[in-house]
């Protein structure tokens, strides 16, 4: 068993506000510690820059904290797990990705105790990076820019840990095609 690596494919005609809201919920809900979390956003160009801006704006509004404060996201399960998740941010950066939002070293209402790692957004993550190929199981969302629907589907189908996937488009034909071409689950 190897975990999960779930993708969302965003076509240029998608409602980017809906996509950004969904990326926040699917990527950072339960601090990303769930098997159905989306950890890769495949952006069919030219939407990546606009989408990253919208996601970054939403990340800045998330409340991180313990359950007493009604947060949007809490801590990770253990110190060792937090450190492992954080190591993937280092791996992605070393492999050439851009760390757009860095959740390491987050200040949570002066709480020194706790296994805190804030939402992290990576851009231009190489598909050869361990940050792309391995399950992170934490609040790290990787953006991979692709040139076409076909390239996105190929990446989704070539992954060995896809539990689920999603497509964002206003084209019903593309959505139906996606439904029949995807080999995930």
CB-based contact 13:171 (threshold 8 Å):
yes
Beta sheet of 38-44, edge-to-edge order = 98-101, 120-123, 140-146, 38-44, 6-10, 165-168
Q: Residue 36 and residue 118: Cα distance in Å, rounded?
A: 19
Catalytic residue among 3, 17, 35, 50: 35
The torsion region of residue 36 among left (phi > 0), alpha (psi -120 to 50) and beta comes to alpha
Q: Residue 8 and residue 90: Cα distance in Å, rounded?
A: 23
Q: Is 35 a catalytic residue?
A: yes
**Residues recognised as catalytic:** 35
């Amino acid at each position: 068993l190897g975990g999960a690596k779930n993708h969302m494919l965003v076509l240029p005609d998608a409602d980017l506000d809906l996509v950004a809201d969904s990326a926040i919920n699917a990527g950072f809900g339960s601090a990303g510690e769930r098997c159905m979390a989306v950890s890769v956003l495949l952006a069919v160009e030219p939407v990546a820059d606009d989408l990253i801006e919208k996601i970054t704006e939403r990340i800045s509004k998330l409340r991180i904290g313990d359950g007493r404060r009604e947060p949007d996201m809490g801590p990770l399960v253990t110190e060792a797990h937090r450190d492992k998740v954080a190591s993937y941010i280092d791996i992605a950066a070393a492999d050439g990705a851009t760390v757009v939002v860095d959740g390491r070293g987050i200040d949570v209402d002066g709480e020194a105790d706790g296994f805190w790692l804030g939402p992290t957004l990576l851009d231009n993550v190489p598909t050869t990076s361990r940050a792309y190929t391995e399950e992170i199981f934490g609040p790290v969302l990787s953006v991979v820019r692709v040139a076409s629907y076909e390239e996105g589907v190929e990446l989704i189908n070539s992954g060995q840990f896809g539990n689920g996937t999603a497509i964002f488009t206003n084209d019903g034909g593309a959505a139906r095609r996606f439904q029949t071409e995807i080999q995930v689950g």
